[in-house]
Structure 1
Amino acid sequence: MTKTFGLRTPTDLYRKLVHDIERLDTAPYSAPLSYAAYDCAVTATHIADWVVHTVGSAQHLRLTGKTTGHNEAMKGFGQTNAKRLPALEFCRQIANAVKHVKVTRGPTMDNMTTGRSVRFDPPIDFTQPIPPDQKMLPHAYITVDDKSYPVINLFRDMAVQWQQFLLEEGLFEEDQDE
């Protein structure tokens, strides 16, 4: 018996990340946008846990630099795989901050923040009458070194990185129609 609602593998959690990104992309207003962004960060971060708990001893040592059961295996995973999964540390920081209100473990990225606002589609020219088909859409962003980006780009990059990682490590499973 598990407590994972039928999810069994790192690939299952990867697919949840893809689903969370779709929710983020289609969020109709700010609250669902924030919830989906939070879920993306948490899911992306915890795929690492699933990988570490799935692999055998030799692969565990190679991926973490630690023996199976070592209490710093996750820290080792992040350090060992930082170049393969460059978006992971951003996701970890966001997930940890949302869960604990502020980052409570590991180094903090003081140059990074997140937020939400709205954007207009098409962009508004305030010198002209507002078109009748004007839409106001929720927008979640990440700011790094005073430059802001749509946070969905981070999560999409993370999904690509995880898929490549899982494929390279022999952990990616083809989709089984249920």
Structure 2
Amino acid sequence: MTRVAIVYHSGYGHTQRMAQAVAEGSGGQLLAIDADGNLPAGGWELLQAADAIVFGAPTYMGGVSWQFKKFADASSRPWYAQAWKDKLFAGFTNSAAMNGDKFSSLSYMMTLAMQHGGLWVGLGVLPSNSKAATRNDPNFLGSYSGAIAQSPSDASVADMLPGDLETARNFGRRVAEVAARLLPC
């Protein structure tokens, strides 16, 4: 059985809810980056043992949160040892705006994964882009490189749209399936 770790920072709870949906789909273990940008005890060991690492962060001002960036900078230790080489990686993000420059955050995560010598798993879901599509359909926002969601700045976590959460669950399932296919058990 493959081990999926979902390492994420969430400022207001929306990204955490996405992380939970990714975990529901993948059977993965959540690993929250705290408000100071640190992992809990045993976090680095969990990432080392994982077959796939899924990054998650809100998109603030066109990029990942500083807490996620602090985690990324701290990952220079496993980078130096090439400890995450050939692991699978994926990423997700949420912002208040429909676009919000979410692709910048996913690109940052993808670059981090590539620097670690990893293999990136994209969303693998066609966008809901027909005239009949609704905002509650999976991948309505039309991402390919990772899961994205949009939560209005005055919306609670409970107000997150079912289509965005279904996209995150499907994404988690895809990461686990790709890991099971590509990685030896």
TM-score by length of 2: 0.30
TM-score by length of 1: 0.31
Which protein has the bigger strand share?
A: 2
Which protein has the bigger helix share?
A: 1
